[in-house]
Amino acid sequence: MDRKQLQHQVAYTRRSLFDQGYLDDQFIQLEHLQDEANPNFVEEVVRLFYSDSVRLIQNIEQAMINKPNIDFGKLDDYMHQFKGSSSSIGAKKMMKECSKFREYCCAGNIEGCIKTLQLLKQEHATLRRKLETYFQLVKQAGLA
């Protein structure tokens, strides 16, 4: 594929991440903060998010093991953090799952929490794959 085609593919891939609801405007805000002095800012933030969120997910899972004495307050705190980080990178679908999880926490509904955590982990993994592919394409197209 030549450079022009690659660049088209980058634009198309990027567009669909927004159209399919994976990313929101905050991602564009991150792109605006990228410049010649900080050419990989978006990718750096996303990497940071993924290494940090793995830790958060582990904390959440740990906090859900101790049935029936679940500390819903603690769970909610962890999810509040997770939602905050997701929001900072513009991870729209993940934010939705985080909000649902917090509603289940408020209601003390552990089954709801378990179900939602699974969905959240799926979204987390899907977005990671899509963004990794996107960043790869950007490099290949010489747009990095």
Partner 1 sequence: MTVDMAMATETQFHVLAVDDCLIDRKLIERLLKTSSYQVTAVDSGSKALEFLGLNGENELRDSKPASVSPDPYHQHIEINMIITDYCMPGMTGYDLLKKIKESKYFKDIPVVIMSSENVPSRINRCLKEGAEEFFLKPVQLSDVNKLRPHLMKGRCKEEEEDQPNNKRKGMEEIVNSPDRTRTRYNDGLEVV
Interface pick for partner 1 out of 88, 109, 115, 135 (rule CB under 8 A): 88
Contact 52, 85 (CB under 8 A): yes
Collapsing DSSP to helix, strand or coil, 73 comes out as: helix
Task: Give the count of residues interacting with partner 1 (CB under 8 A).
Answer: 22
**Binding residue for partner 1 (CB under 8 A) from 7, 40, 59, 87?**
87
Among 11, 33, 54, 107, binds partner 1 (CB under 8 A): 33
23: β partners: 91
Closest distance of CB 101 from partner 1, Å: 15
85 in contact with partner 1 (CB under 8 A): yes
How many angstroms separate the CA atoms of 76 and 60, rounded? 9
When the beta carbons of 90 and 116 are compared against partner 1, the nearer one is 90
By CB under 8 A, residue 32 contacts partner 1:
yes
Q: Which of 81, 109, 128, 132 binds partner 1 (CB under 8 A)?
A: 81
What does the alpha-carbon distance between residue 64 and residue 58 come to, in Å, rounded to a whole number?
10
Contacts of 63 (CB under 8 A, 6+ apart): 70, 71, 74, 75, 78
Which of 13, 26 has the CB closer to partner 1? Answer: 26
Q: Which residues contact 59 (CB under 8 A, 6 or more apart)?
A: 78
Binding residues vs partner 1 (CB under 8 A): 26, 29-30, 32-33, 38, 41, 44-45, 48-49, 52, 77, 80-81, 83-85, 87-90
